[in-house]
Amino acid sequence: MSSAEREAALRDANEKMRQYYVNRPPMHVVKKKRKFGEGPQDGAHFVQLAAVSSFLCAFLITPFLGRKIARDEEFRKKFIPSWYDFTIEKPDYAWTRQELHEQMIQLQNELHDRAINGEFTPEKLEEMRRQFHGKEQSEDASRSGWDQLHPGVDDDEDIEEDD
């Protein structure tokens, strides 16, 4: 290769390299930024976003909807099918707090009067511990030990251990 040929090859190579750098398009034209929803996997993002948002909405609405179902009779009859409704009707004979309080006070007074009358002497208490109230003593039960509080405890043994 002569020097003239070599000079021509170098000029040609330099021209090609200059064309590469000079005519090269800018980076923002070559590599554009994709917007959300334009890529090949962005359809999956929309599905995931829809699933997450629906679960979040269901999670946030559930307490309010449950309270509405529990308290509103018309709403429950309108939207909940009868085969799925497991609500229990409140009985009419349910005691109020006042009635329960009065019964507890009455029971306290009865126990107090019985204690004053001497019904809770140690002998009577021992007899109460040995047999169940209102249960008759039968021979079968006493033979098998079913009438005792604990089958391994004899009648002469003390049930409560005193330390």
Q: How large is the average pLDDT for residues 140-149?
A: 63
Which has more confidence, 150 or 82? 82
Q: Where are the beta strands (DSSP E) in the chain?
A: none
Write down the pLDDT at residue 22.
64
pLDDT digits (tens, 9 = 90+) for 66-94: 999 888 989 988 988 888 878 887 777 77
pTM for the whole structure: 0.34
pLDDT at residue 60 above 80?
yes
Tell me how far apart the alpha carbons of residues 100 and 92 are, in angstroms, rounded to a whole number: 15
Tell me how far apart the alpha carbons of residues 114 and 108 are, in angstroms, rounded to a whole number: 10
| Six token digits for residue 113 | 């009067």
pLDDT digits (tens, 9 = 90+) for 106-144: 999 998 998 888 888 888 777 776 665 566 666 666 666
| Six token digits for residue 151 | 């089958």
Q: Among residues of the chain, what percentage have pLDDT more than 90?
A: 25
Write down the pLDDT at residue 148.
63
Give 36's contacts (C-beta < 8 A, 6+ positions apart): 42, 45
Give 37's contacts (C-beta < 8 A, 6+ positions apart): 45, 46
Give 4's contacts (C-beta < 8 A, 6+ positions apart): none
Which has more confidence, 68 or 19? 68
Write down the pLDDT at residue 138.
63
Closest CA to 128 of 136, 120, 139: 120
Closest CA to 135 of 146, 124, 126: 146
